[in-house]
Amino acid sequence: MKQGLTAIFLDKDHLLSAVKDLGKQRIGVDTVFSPFPCHEVEEIIGSKPSIVRYFTLGGGVVGILAGLGLASYAHLEWKIITSGKPILPWIPFFIIAFESCILGGVLATMTGMILKNRLFRFRLSRAYDPRFSKDRFGIFIACKDTEFEGVTKILKDIGAEEVHAVRE
């Protein structure tokens, strides 16, 4: 976890206006804490697309190659050659390739989501306050020690109920 400031807000409206004001002042918001999903924050911040889609693509391609490789190996190893048919019949292999593509894509997507969402955390972030699960909203802003005073003043002026320093 980076060092920075955690600001606590009373309600969703204060949080949204704070995120807008911080965006206008070119202060980057690292994490937003909310007791329920708040899609307006995503629209204001303009979140980037997730990299999980590349995990899915990679898993699908690897699945296709693995499925075709396995089918080819099995066909050649046990010499399942029938009269007049090609040694490696490509039409039936499409079914195996498709199923392997789906399997590889699903497994890679799950792996990507686990890694991207940082699941299996053994401790919560130091910026987290238990009130964020009940009735308060929060923002974590990563900044240096020298910027703490200025950013704290800006957060208080915007309407933060409390501002805490978070250090590693």
**CA dihedral (77, 82, 83, 85) positive or negative:** negative
Q: Is 141 or 64 the better-scoring residue by pLDDT?
A: 64
Residue 117 has pLDDT above 90, yes or no: no
| Contact yes or no for 7/136 (Cβ under 8 A) | no
Model pLDDT, residue 134? 87
**Mean pLDDT, to the nearest integer, of 105-130?**
88
**Model confidence, pTM:** 0.67
Domains of the chain (ranges, CATH numbers): 4-47+123-166 (3.30.70.260), 52-116 (no CATH)
Q: What is the DSSP string of 94-122?
A: HHHHHHHHHHHHHHHHHHHHHHHTT-S-S
Q: What is the mean pLDDT of the chain?
A: 87
Structure tokens at 80: 């399942």
**What residue type is 49 in one-letter code?**
P
pLDDT tens digits along 43-97 = 888 778 889 999 999 999 999 999 999 999 988 888 776 777 778 888 889 999 9
